[in-house]
Each structure stands twice: as C-alpha cells, then as structure tokens.
Amino acid sequence: MSRHDAPLMEFPCRFSIKAMGLAQDDFDALVVSLVRQHVADLSEGAVSSQPSAAGKYVSITITFEAESREQLDAIYRSLSAHERVLMAL
C-alpha cells in the first residue's frame, strides 16, 4: 500500500465531535441523545460544553471510542439532520 492509499484514521480510536446550537437548557441532552444512538458507551466526563462569548450559542463536545468511519458518518448525519443543531464538526 502506498502512502496515498493509507487510511486517514485507524479504528478503533478516540474521537471528539462537536455540535453547536442556540444555548437552551436541554441542548446538551439533545446532542448526547443523538450521539448515543450510535455510541453505546459514553464514559464519565465524555461531555463538555462551552458557551459563546455573548452566551447566545453553545458548543457541546463529546469524546468517545470510535469504531468505524461508518459510525462517524452516521453520527454526523444524525446531528446535521436535526433542526436545532446549527453545525457539527
């Protein structure tokens, strides 16, 4: 396999995904529930949040053990499809 054919990521691996939306009381729970549809085991401390400077928006970061590229794609699709998630990174 040449250098250009090598996979960009090797699984399983630790992975962090971030979702941004309006700062509402239940936004973190919403993001966690969407990710949990694809990740069975979220460890203690896997979720962190960061409000924007003005406090209108919040970003939720979830760190987990990713099993495959397909799993990551499914998580991004779930997050991006939800009307309250403004951006997923």
Q: Is residue 4 part of a domain?
A: no
Which CATH number does the domain housing residue 21 bear? Answer: 3.30.70.260
Contacts of 27 (CB under 8 A, 6+ apart): 21, 58, 60, 84
Q: Is residue 35 part of a domain?
A: yes
> What does the alpha-carbon distance between residue 6 and residue 11 come to, in Å, rounded to a whole number?
13
Q: Is residue 1 part of a domain?
A: no
Q: Is residue 3 part of a domain?
A: no
Domain residues for the domain of 49 are 9-88
pTM (two decimals): 0.90
For the chain (89 residues), the mean pLDDT of every run of 10, in chain order, is 68 97 96 96 94 98 97 98 98
* Total domain count, the chain: 1
Task: Give the pLDDT confidence score for residue 83 in this predicted structure.
Answer: 98
Task: Give the pLDDT confidence score for residue 40 in this predicted structure.
Answer: 87
Q: Is residue 40 part of a domain?
A: yes
Task: Give the pLDDT confidence score for residue 79 in this predicted structure.
Answer: 98
Q: Is residue 2 part of a domain?
A: no
